Amino acid sequence: MPVLPGAEPYRHEGGEVGVLLCHGFTGSPQSLRPWAEYLAARGVTVSLPLLPGHGTRWEDMQLTTWQDWYAEVDRALRELLARCEQVFVFGLSMGGALTLRLAAKHGDAVRGIVLVNPGNKVHGVAAHALPVVRHFVPSTNGIASDIAKEGVKEIAYDKVPLHAAYSLRQFFRIVDAELPQVTQPMVVLHSPQDHVVPPADSARILSRVSSTDVKEVLLEQSYHVATLDHDAERIFEESWAFIGRLAPDVVGEKGSTSGG
């Protein structure tokens, strides 16, 4: 199945600092592309994979599970670790949960993480019905383009495939149990007005991780897909400052990373 125009994965070969970017549930790399290009322009090696079942048709996602999505980011992380001296992982929404699991599993190999409106739980009455309903109803209304900025659209499915949503619910439970294993420095940026993931998810993550170097930033002007919203530049700048603080030896004076 051809990938939707604009939803393609992105890769940039830069210096000795690598960043893996993880997109969200039913979304695509397009939601993180400006962030990836911002980092690439500063000499960072960037990997922004397309998660299996995403970026084509929602029906394709019905055939995938959290194990498929996690396997893809794990593969991309291992590639970066083989290539770069210092590797960071950044994620949006479900991509934040993928980021947290990578951090829990890979330990000190991940230098630091940045989470934007990270998901921790499937909310609402429907969540409890998922185990049964998914066998009778294939999909429900989509969650795409929760963006305050006028005229900005997210390339994402207009439906949520319920088999995949059930798998996401299982994944969130696994990640929640693993949060105490997360020890890396982290920045959590979240929107008080988010119509997809409530601020309670960020609060729970912050309360359960073992990280001691933690910064919380409120994105007052943005909704869920904050990486395409009014606060996008704030996210990019905070993440770049975070890299510069934790990997000063491989970040050059002019704002680009050293190495070939």
Which of these is catalytic: 224, 229, 230, 239? 224
Is 194 labeled as catalytic in the residue annotation? yes
Which of these is catalytic: 47, 93, 139, 239? 93
Which of these is catalytic: 146, 194, 201, 231? 194
**What is the C-alpha to C-alpha distance for residues 53 and 186, in angstroms, rounded to an integer?**
29
**What is the C-alpha to C-alpha distance for residues 186 and 246, in angstroms, rounded to an integer?**
11
Residues recognised as catalytic:
93, 194, 224
